[in-house]
Amino acid sequence: MSKFKILVKTTLTPIALCLTLAIAAPATAHKGHHQKHDGMRQILSELSLTDTQKQDIRQILKQTREDRGLFSTDAKSLKKELRGLVQSTEWDQAAIESVITQRQALIQEKALQRATNKNQVWNLLTDTQQTEFVAQLETRKAERKAKGIDGRKKQQA
């Protein structure tokens, strides 16, 4: 075998393969679970907001991210505590029920905080912007439905 063929097989072929994968990956990438529900932020970027509205919304979204971090820390500690109780040698029903109740309360508090933040953003919009926001939301919902994506897993028959 000639040196050129060996060079092609050992060097150039893997390089070409890596380049092909690097170029093709972004084109075939799907949205991650963090990006799927970012419709509100996308719609807001399409509205004609004043500088004051943009600044206020940024502040609300910043607060939302900080809140999410706090909830995440609490949820992880409760999950760890529950795992420890379940994996213990003795069954303590009262303690497990207590941790489960705490987790449910945390989930409810997180949902309430998210709804409050969305309401704060909504109240910053003018009537025209609110109408346009709803129209954009309905358009996106129709597009997802046309693609067969409704946010829930399809049940198999």
Task: With a cut of 50, say whether residue 137 has pLDDT above it.
Answer: yes
For residue 33, pLDDT beyond 50: no
* Count of CB atoms situated within 10 Å of the CB of 26: 7
Under CATH, what is the fold of the domain 53-117? Four Helix Bundle (Hemerythrin (Met), subunit A) (1.20.120)
Residue 144 identity:
R
**Tens of pLDDT, residues 70-83:** 788 888 888 898 88
pLDDT band at residue 49 using 50, 70 and 90 as cut-offs: confident
Mean pLDDT of 116-137: 86
Please give the mean pLDDT across all residues of the chain.
76
| CB 104 within 8 Å of CB 74 | no
Using alpha carbons only, what angle is made at residue 21 by residues 20 and 22, rounded to the nearest 5 degrees? 95
User: Where in 55-135 does DSSP place strands (E)?
Assistant: none
Tell whether the model's pLDDT for residue 11 goes beyond 80. Answer: no
- Token pair belonging to 60: 């609300």
pLDDT band at 27 (very low <50, low <70, confident <90, very high): low
Closest Cα to residue 61, out of 75, 49, 78? 49
pLDDT of residue 75: 86
Which pLDDT does position 39 carry in this prediction? 66
Residue spans of the domains in the chain: they are 53-117
Residue 30 pLDDT exceeds 50: no
Mean pLDDT comparison of 18-22, 39-43, 62-66, 107-111, highest-scoring range? 107-111
Three-class DSSP category at 152:
coil
Residue 37, pLDDT above cutoff 80:
no
> 42 or 118: whose pLDDT is higher?
118
pLDDT in tens, 89-113: 888 888 888 888 888 888 898 888 8
Average pLDDT over residues 32-44: 59
